[in-house]
Amino acid sequence: MAEFKIVLSDQKTGRAYKVDVSGGAAGALVGKRIGDEVDASSMGLPGYRMEITGGSDRNGTPARRNLPVAGRKRLLLSGGAGFKPVMEGQRRRKTLRGNEITADFVQINAKVTAYGDKALEEYFAKPAAEEKKE
């Protein structure tokens, strides 16, 4: 079964939160594409919706939005996701992953598009540190 780490960006506060997803919630993401909007209530965030903005697989190969395949491809790039040229006109052949989410993905990047009743900080609040006993 698929397991994903979702990095959920909240653009109101500028913070990002990590959500570990497995089982049925992860299965619901398989087959989606970068740019699709997904209901986040299956991940424990009722009322929230998120847009998939990117991702990477177990080797760190980034996903590219404009590559309509489910697997990997080697492309000649001059810039954009997966390659940052150092010199003007520089091009390089790089391996990239397509925009369809498969079970090979490890990390999925997303941003919040619709907010629920509770703030995200309440869902991801760190437990209060216990006071030291002397």
Q: What token pair was written down for 51?
A: 């847009």
Q: What is the pLDDT of residue 36?
A: 95
Q: What is the pLDDT of residue 109?
A: 96
One digit per residue, the tens of pLDDT, for the chain of length 134 reads 789 999 999 999 999 999 999 998 899 999 999 999 999 998 989 999 999 999 999 999 999 999 999 899 999 999 888 889 999 999 999 999 999 999 999 999 999 999 989 988 888 887 765 555 55
* Rg of the chain taking only CA atoms, in angstroms: 18
3-state secondary structure of 22: strand
Q: What is the pLDDT of residue 131?
A: 55
3-state secondary structure 92-127: EEEEEECCECCCCEEEEEEEEEECCCCCHHHHCCCC
The widest CA-to-CA distance across the chain, in whole angstroms, is 64
Q: What is the pLDDT of residue 4?
A: 93
Residue extents of the structural domains in the chain? 3-64+99-123
Contact 107, 4 (CB under 8 A): yes
Phi, psi dihedrals of residue 102, rounded to the nearest 5°: -125, 180
Q: How is residue 58 annotated by DSSP? A: T
Q: What token pair was written down for 52?
A: 């998939």
The distance from CA 133 to its chain's CA centroid, rounded to whole angstroms, is 41
- What is the value of pTM for the model shown? 0.85
Q: What is the pLDDT of residue 56?
A: 94
